[in-house]
Amino acid sequence: MSEARYSIGVDLGGTNLRAAAIAPDGSVLSRLSGTTNLHAGRDAVVMDIVESIRNLRVTHGDAGLAGVGVVVPGFIEMKKGLIVGSNNLPQFEGYPVRDEISRILGAPVILENDANAAALGEKWIGAGRDVDSLVLLTLGTGIGGGIIVDGRILHGEVGMAGEIGHTTVYPDGNPCGCGSRGCLEKHASATAITAMARLMQLGENVTAADVYKIAQGEGESAKRARRIFESMGEALGIAIGNLVNIFNFPLYLLSGGPLPAWDLFAPPMTAEAERRSFTFRNTKTRIEKATLGGDAGLFGAACLGLEALQRRVVG
Amino acid sequence: MSEARYSIGVDLGGTNLRAAAIAPDGSVLSRLSGTTNLHAGRDAVVMDIVESIRNLRVTHGDAGLAGVGVVVPGFIEMKKGLIVGSNNLPQFEGYPVRDEISRILGAPVILENDANAAALGEKWIGAGRDVDSLVLLTLGTGIGGGIIVDGRILHGEVGMAGEIGHTTVYPDGNPCGCGSRGCLEKHASATAITAMARLMQLGENVTAADVYKIAQGEGESAKRARRIFESMGEALGIAIGNLVNIFNFPLYLLSGGPLPAWDLFAPPMTAEAERRSFTFRNTKTRIEKATLGGDAGLFGAACLGLEALQRRVVG
């Protein structure tokens, strides 16, 4: 059999559908991008995915294709290839998306959760390329998590591992839709930032980016805005301190919208993690920005396609 | 080469030194037990370990020996085989115990942390034999942790993974010697139980077992004692809820002195974990008693000896 020249990654988001042909060295051979036409219905979205894969195959040929990885938001029951509990893709709830794409395409595809894939992408070709194990936290509406152990995604029993956004940082903290209180994502997500901005009377409809702008100014509002990022950093530090105590991994990455405010939230975050983990203080432990931005999931998807070939060759 | 008929496990505790020859099916062929003569000095303890291994080898023969595992309290720098940060074995701090035993014995040995080995033992032949991945919490003076992922111990970068006793459950909780506050072990260990008993005026020198006895009685003291176990259970539930959200493993095990009080602390523990983890509520997740008791580490040590043979045969 010929050597793999590329793999296809597809990232199905609630807003955008993106696909790329990516070489084993991580270089992007070509890239397709469109909107996720959820209003056109589930079958239309599935056909858009299939078409994007077909287009890339036609362009780059079947002979050198290692595999296809498709990344979606929401939990994935790994054995069945089902999407469950995706707020962004309600029409896909319980739908056998992996097998349907495979059937129409006539080729196997690998399905993966977006945060898991992003963590794998960062490990493969991003901020984590020099380590074997890492944790990625994606800061957005909520906080997602992906855990890489010795180069592989940690899935857990049914694929729900990595729900770090719902670990408890304040047992009596803000209530969460998950049924708990004080979940990390209720104290450190982009949504948490805007909620705190309201509480601090910085405006009713400010975005996390607005709060960051206010924080860079002067006066009472700027002080309040900076206090918000301190609070966010402390919550992240508690959660990351726990992760360091549990995993003793060398690297913890953060990605997402609030990253530009790094200089404001990172110092209290690091101080808190340091205080809460003697492992942090006694081993080389880094908390850093992820580097692939919105492409991390796409790279992770392509990485899964490349691994698919390895599995077929080895096993 | 002949098939392995047994492996040797050694468990070096602060009080007792135990060793056993154990067959691949987990049956104990023979067992040695003595005290850890720390007052006689480090070299004497090392010689006691070597002698126990030699005795078992003489009894059972060299031909069928798969390997030797030695289990110690404290962190182990895995690559170097050093004990670091063991409160129970201060004389071994930074001492290359693995290589010294190997040198005197003339055979390779595998060194492992006690909680990690106990988790592996439970996975091999105890409460976790029907799963691939689990977490074990050992409740004692502190709280140790061992994490098994797909049948293997999770070590982390330098072997410090699994410090679940130092994950934060109450950010402003009891101060801990590690430098943090509200560590799980300051709210749920045997030591935490006796500290709470003092605070609840149940006696200055009561043990965790005493508190359990008081709790089984009637009246105000019994109520207070039961409240202690409720508090312990809540703290455990927060920490285990976090673990479930992070790992999505099917099984979380508890071992140690406070286990007889299971009926008092397990209901609030389970309720708290359930409330704090939708993964717990939506997947088959069990929190159970470990079953190997004080032998878990010894079995884990022997399991490592058996695995050593597999590694030699395969790689």
pLDDT band per the 50, 70, 90 thresholds, residue B260: very high
CA A91, CA A72: separation in Å to the nearest integer?
13
User: Is residue B1's pLDDT more than 60?
Assistant: no
At residue A212, does pLDDT exceed 50?
yes
Asked if A159 reaches chain B (Cβ–Cβ under 8 Å), the answer is: yes
- Shortest Cα distance, chain B CAs vs residue A185, angstroms: 13
Q: Where residue A193 falls among pLDDT bands split at 50, 70, 90? A: very high
Contact A168 B238 (CB under 8 A): yes
Output the pLDDT for position A99. 93
In chain A, the residue whose alpha carbon lies closest to the alpha carbon of B160 is A248
In CATH terms, the fold of domain A6-113 is Nucleotidyltransferase; domain 5 (3.30.420)
Convert the pLDDT of each residue in B193-249 to its tens digit.
999 999 999 998 999 999 999 999 999 999 999 999 999 999 999 999 999 999 999
Pairing of strands A28-35, A16-22: antiparallel
The tens digit of pLDDT for each residue in A279-298 reads 999 999 999 999 999 999 99
Q: Is A112 helix (H, G, I), strand (E, B) or coil?
A: strand
Answer yes or no: is pLDDT of A2 > 60: no
Answer whether residue B23 shows pLDDT above 50.
Answer: yes
pLDDT of residue A262: 98
Confidence of residue A88 (pLDDT cuts 50, 70, 90): confident
Domain topology for B6-114+294-314:
Nucleotidyltransferase; domain 5 (3.30.420)
Predicted pLDDT at A312: 66
| List of chain B residues whose C-beta atoms are within 8 Å of the C-beta of residue A250 | 157
Strands in A13-81 per DSSP E: 16-22, 28-35, 65-72, 75-77
Asked if CATH classification 3.40.1190.20 holds for the domain at B127-290, the reply, yes or no, is no
In B, minimum Cα distance to A137 occurs at B246
Residue A211 contacts residue A197 (beta carbons within 8 Å): yes
Which class is domain A127-291? alpha beta
B279·A242 Cβ contact <8 A: no
pLDDT tens-digit readout, B47-84: 999 999 999 999 999 999 999 999 998 888 888 888 88
Which of B158, B178, B248 is opposite residue A248, by nearest beta carbon?
B158
Residues 82-141 of B with CB under 8 A from A: 85, 133
Chain B nearest-CA residue for A272: B180
Closest chain B residue to A131, measured at CA: B157
Question: Of B162, B170, B238, which is closest to A246 when you measure between CB atoms?
Answer: B162
When pLDDT is cut at 50, 70 and 90, the band that residue B132 belongs to is: very high
User: What percent of chain A lies above the pLDDT cut of 70?
Assistant: 98
How far apart are the C-alpha atoms of A170 and B163, rounded to whole Å? 20
In this complex, is the C-beta atom of A167 within 8 Å of any C-beta atom belonging to chain B?
yes
Residue A311 has pLDDT above 80, yes or no: no
| pLDDT given for residue A80 in this prediction | 87
List the 270-289 stretch of A: residues with Cβ below 8 A of B. Answer: 275-279, 281-285
Q: Which whole number is the average pLDDT over B18-41?
A: 94
Amino acid at B17: L
ipTM: 0.95
Residue numbers in B near A156 (CB within 8 A):
133, 247-249, 279
Domain ranges of chain B: 6-114+294-314, 127-290
Task: Give the pLDDT of residue A315.
Answer: 40
Among the residue ranges A101-105, A188-192, B18-22, the one predicted with the least confidence is: A101-105
Give me the pLDDT at residue A313, please.
60
pLDDT of residue A74: 83
Backbone Cα Rg of chain B: 20
Binning pLDDT at 50, 70 and 90, where does residue A241 land? very high
**Cβ distance of A278 and B179 shorter than 8 Å:** yes
Contact A162 B246 (CB under 8 A): yes
What does the pLDDT read at residue B315? 41
Residue of chain A whose alpha carbon sits nearest to that of B150: A156
Q: Which of B170, B246, B277 sits opposite A246 (nearest CB)?
A: B246
Considering only CB atoms, which chain A residues are within 8 Å of B268?
none
The mean pLDDT value of chain B amounts to 94
Cβ of A246 within 8 Å of Cβ of B245? The answer is no
| B184's tokens | 């799980």
pLDDT digits (tens, 9 = 90+) for A39-57: 899 999 999 999 999 999 9
- For the stretch A144-175, pLDDT in tens is 999 999 999 999 999 999 999 999 999 999 99
CA of B181: which chain A residue's CA is closest?
A: A276
Q: Answer yes or no: same fold for A6-113 and A127-291.
A: yes
Average pLDDT over residues B108-115: 94
Contact flag B246-A275 (C-beta cutoff 8 Å): no
Tokens 């126990």 belong to B52
Q: What is the pLDDT of residue A79?
A: 85
CA distance A198 to chain B (A): 24
